[in-house]
């Protein structure tokens, strides 16, 4: 059974930083591409960043230059380092594994990120 557990969210002021973590179990983590998505009330879940099994990242235009996705295969964990946070980054952040570039299978419970002064 695949399980994804996100953590690291919280309340931060504009311009601040947070580091999200997602621990995966029930999959062979190292061979899976992974992604971070986010969702705000009333909106579709949107892609934030992806990382291939080989470690190549890709980012949504809205977060390029501010967010960094990385992975530690030894810890079955994917990270999202978020810098220069803006109020519009406020959302629930989810991780998922990707198959052919699309979300596949279950989602975690998400972690809330709130950017506010």
Query: Quick one: how far is CA 102 from the chain centroid?
Result: 14
Q: What is the pLDDT of residues 61-98, one digit of tens each?
A: 999 999 999 999 999 999 999 999 999 999 999 999 99
Q: What is the mean pLDDT of residues 95-109?
A: 91
């Amino acid at each position: 059974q695949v399980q994804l557990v996100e953590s690291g969210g919280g309340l931060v002021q504009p311009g601040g930083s947070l580091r999200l973590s997602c621990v995966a179990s029930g999959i062979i983590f190292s061979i899976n591409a992974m992604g971070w998505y986010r969702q705000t009330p009333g909106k579709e879940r949107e892609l934030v960043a992806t990382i291939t099994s080989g470690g190549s990242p890709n980012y949504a235009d809205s977060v390029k230059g501010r967010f960094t996705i990385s992975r530690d295969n030894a810890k079955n964990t994917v990270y999202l380092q978020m810098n220069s946070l803006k109020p519009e980054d406020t959302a629930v952040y989810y991780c998922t594994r990707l198959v052919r570039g699309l979300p596949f299978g279950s989602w975690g419970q998400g972690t809330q990120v709130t950017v506010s002064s």
